[in-house]
Structure 1
Amino acid sequence: MNAPVFDEIIHAPNRLQICAMLAAVDSAEFAVLRETLAVSDSVLSKHLKVLQTAGYVEMTKTSGKAARSTWIALTPEGRRALAGHLAELHRLSDMAKVIDSG
């Protein structure tokens, strides 16, 4: 269990969604992330660059006969950061439940 830690890098809505999607798979293709988030290439690239600079994702470019692809994977550090951030969100949610029932 990771200690609850609010992570401002992950917390931005698109980056949180990217990390959540990547947590469920080994890697995902750039186009799949773009289509799922319904954002432009430039918006997705910007968010991925922030995550990559933090060491949370790694990108691999592949080229085949038909096309070139970019695959994105959550690093072990990224998985730990996401787990800690989600634990903090759960902690905050639990705190709000106590306040609401009080």
Structure 2
Amino acid sequence: METGPRLAMCALLQGADWIDFATVRTLLDVSDSVVSKHSRALEEAGLLEVRKGAVGRRPRTWFRLTPVGRAVLASHLAWLTELGSAVDRQP
């Protein structure tokens, strides 16, 4: 499973309410297809909420983490911190 783009997307979304597709794509420096693929996987896992609408006549897509997504991200980051501490303690 590719976790790099998904983790980056979750980290980006953790500090915001809604972020539009184009902003996610630009800030992560990935293609539309990468954002689509990973946002779909996160949505199917219940970690991401997707809202579709329009600005004027142009269709838009926005993302935000669900409460479960925020909890999962916090748990994952805590685990990574713990892992880093354990590695640092190795002789």
2:39 alignment partner in structure 1: 48
The structure where strand makes up a greater share of residues is: 2
2:88 alignment partner in structure 1: 97
Any idea what the Cα deviations from partners look like across 1:3-61, whole Å, max 9, x if unmatched? xxxxx7xx711111100000010110000001111111111100001100100001001
Counterparts of residues 32-71 of structure 1 (less than 5 Å): 32-71=23-62
User: In structure 1, how many angstroms separate the alpha carbons of the residues matched to 2:38 and 2:32?
Assistant: 10
**TM-score, with structure 1 as normaliser:** 0.84
Structure 1 stretches lacking a partner, 5+ long:
1-7
Residue identity over aligned pairs, in percent, reads 41
User: In structure 1, how many angstroms separate the alpha carbons of the residues matched to 2:55 and 2:19?
Assistant: 17
Deviating runs (4+, > 4 A) in structure 1? none
The amino acid that maps onto 2:16 is V
Q: Relative contact order (alpha carbons < 8 A, sep ≥ 6): 1 or 2 greater? A: 1
Cα RMSD over matched residues? Answer: 1.4
User: In structure 1, how many angstroms separate the alpha carbons of the residues matched to 2:84 and 2:61?
Assistant: 36
Counterparts of residues 7-46 of structure 1 (less than 5 Å): 12-46=3-37
User: In structure 2, how many angstroms separate the alpha carbons of the residues matched to 1:30 and 1:53?
Assistant: 17
User: In structure 1, how many angstroms separate the alpha carbons of the residues matched to 2:20 and 2:46?
Assistant: 18
**TM-score, with structure 2 as normaliser:** 0.93
1:77 alignment partner in structure 2: 68
